[in-house]
Amino acid sequence: MVSIEELRDFVVEAKSKTYVGNGTMLPACRPGSNDIGHERGAWRYLDSYFGGTDFAGQETVWHDGKPRWAMNYFGRIVRPDLIDAQRTGIIIKAALQAMYREKGHFLGGMAYQHAYGCYIDSSSGETEHFSGRETIFVDGEEAYELNYRGGLIVP
């Protein structure tokens, strides 16, 4: 049996080494998808998404070949006059690196001030079942939003 702590630690590790860590993209597992993954021992992680400035995706974790956890998300730039995709990515990567390093977790409850804007991640729940919202404010205006939810996969 896998503990919640082991799962959470692997999710943080995988997220740190894929999108946030500029990991290597994998061949698309679905037509038009952008896929990035991480493996360690019996663990496997895949983040598969579609789009660019407006995007949707799903992260999945397998242990011993069985799906154990997933999170889906949809994000978009609300105010392209205030922020572009490149600056959004820079802010998100810096904020998530800080979250993983400082909290050792992947769920919100933090604000991060960057030269390009203020990142805020708020969530409810824990690894087992959660939902949350990620936003970036530029000059006090919401310029980017992302909603996410996920949790354990129980057969």
How far, in Å, CA of 144 to CA of 119, rounded? 9
- pLDDT value of position 109: 87
The answer to whether residue 1 scores a pLDDT higher than 80 is no
Residue type, 73: Y
Question: Please, are residues 68 and 153 in contact by the beta-carbon 8 Å criterion?
Answer: yes
How much is the average pLDDT of 53-63?
A: 97
**DSSP code of 53?**
S
Lowest mean pLDDT among 13-17, 103-107, 139-143: 103-107
> Phi first, then psi: what are they for 30, rounded to 5°?
-140, 150
- pLDDT value of position 2: 85
The answer to whether residue 130 scores a pLDDT higher than 90 is yes
Percent of the chain whose predicted confidence (pLDDT) is above 70: 100
Instruction: Tokens 């939003």: give the residue.
Output: 145
- Taking alpha carbons only, the member of 50, 51, 23 closest to residue 37 is 23
- pLDDT value of position 45: 98
How far, in Å, CA of 141 to CA of 25, rounded? 33
Query: ∠ CA 112-97-128 to the nearest 5 degrees?
Result: 95
Q: Each residue of 70-125: pLDDT tens digit?
A: 999 999 999 999 999 999 999 999 999 999 998 889 998 899 999 999 999 999 99
The answer to whether residue 144 scores a pLDDT higher than 90 is yes
